[in-house]
Structure 1
């Protein structure tokens, strides 16, 4: 498992002169500290794309030692070889480009990286005391919404992250564009390809800003402890 901290660089200056600023390096250091031992790479790319929606070059700071400018294909080849575990052979199967994807980093992962690699966005990362909440956002106007088993791979990746880093926990927030005065916070307890088990807590407020504050305060409160018990009294 790896994390990628991405920055889209506005075309104010030529991207060829890009170097990470103090703010960008500070964020990278924070992420690496709080998500240790998971390796974190910084990936910066220009806000200009070719006809296929891909950028022409990347600036990389990878824990493997790669640092500087690389073509999208070169960095993809490196990651593909790392995943395949065969230095001199590249995986033959890569994902097709989804033209409906607006995020250029996602388009790069789907067009040039092997299917052996799975990617998932971290929508929101919130510091909660000494812990960190990784929040998955789901937009839906459906009443009494519940997660879809189609998204089990995403839940599995998030759960792997929270298990790998002791101070991280994952949570899902469902919101509606039609109602800004409430959201549902979902806690996924278990899942497989047939069902998702969890519970939801509705948080309300007089306006959208107050709901955000309510969510922040809720995340600072430890959720009810869920468990499966096989205890028996000794006789």
Structure 2
């Protein structure tokens, strides 16, 4: 069968969600903010705009834009110290998809510039002809806009595309777009409703590769 694949980025290709939570925890502690982690987790899979709104509602007394900039700087410091780690099986899966002529795209809630920076740093930007960042759509995940835009850029019908996601918002977005959603859980606990929306659930991208090998 013929198919294309659209990836989420953070928590799917890169092990960055954990680093992001650590960065928010460090910045929150620095400013004496309580219960930062639950609110930061709520932002996973959401656009920068939505995340700012969530955090501003939680901490109305704080300049969230300044706090976000501080968190980004902390995140970059941690990545510089620890490295940008790919999720298990990512390299093998991307190489296999390219070798088999299967079109791939990124649909990430992270802003386009940040997505490209990560892909280039890891040396995997060559695998993606289409990259849609969170700042390129009006309605972020869980709305389907970003996935519909990615499918259109690939020239494929959503029903002929797999979406690989880790977050609840991401799976809902792909499902609403009419795609075949594959769930590879990361640090967010997926709800029973979301797990039902996924066609399959895998432990790692290595398992996703094994699944795709049965389709060609």
Query: What TM-score, normalized by structure 1, do the two folds share?
Result: 0.27
Query: What TM-score, normalized by structure 2, do the two folds share?
Result: 0.29
Q: Decide which structure has greater helix share.
A: 2
Rg (Cα) greater in structure = 1
